[in-house]
Amino acid sequence: MSQGADWNVPSRRMGAPPEPARRESASLADILERVLDKGIVIAGDIQINLLDIELLTIKIRLLIASVDRAKEMGIDWWEHDPTLSSGARDVLDENERLRRRVGELESGRDAEREPERERGGEDGS
Amino acid sequence: MVGSVPLADFGEEPLRAHLEDLPWLERAARAHHRVIGRAAGYGQVIPLRFATIYHDDGRVRTMLQERRDDLTATLARVAGRTEWGVKAYVDPRAFLPDPGEEGPSGGDTPGTAYLLRRRAQRDDKETAHLRATERAEEIHTALTALAAATAAHPPQDARLAAYEGWMVLNNSYLVPDDRTEEFTASVTGLGERYPDVDLELSGPWPPYSFTAPPEREEAP
Task: State whether B203 and A5 contact (CB < 8 Å).
Answer: no
pLDDT tens digits, B159-209: 677 788 899 999 999 999 999 999 999 999 999 999 999 999 999 999 999
Contact A8 B49 (CB under 8 A): no
Q: What ipTM does the predicted assembly reach?
A: 0.84
- B144–chain A nearest CA distance, Å: 19
Report chain B's terminal Cα–Cα distance, integer Å: 27
Model confidence over B79-127: pLDDT tens digits? Answer: 999 999 999 999 988 888 876 655 556 667 888 888 888 888 888 888 8
The residue of chain A with its CA nearest to that of B159 is A59
**A120: DSSP letter:** H
Interface of B with A in 130-189 (CB under 8 A): 153-167, 170, 172, 177, 188
Residues forming a β-bridge with A11: B202
Please name the residue of chain A whose CA is at the shortest distance from the CA of residue B53. Answer: A44
pTM comes to 0.68
Give chain B's radius of gyration (CA, Å): 23
Are B49 and A35 in contact (CB < 8 Å)? yes
Contacting residues for A85 by C-beta, under 8 A, at least 6 apart: A78, A79, B158
Shortest CA distance from A37: residue in chain B:
B49
Q: Which of A16, A28, A43 sits opposite B160 (nearest CB)?
A: A28
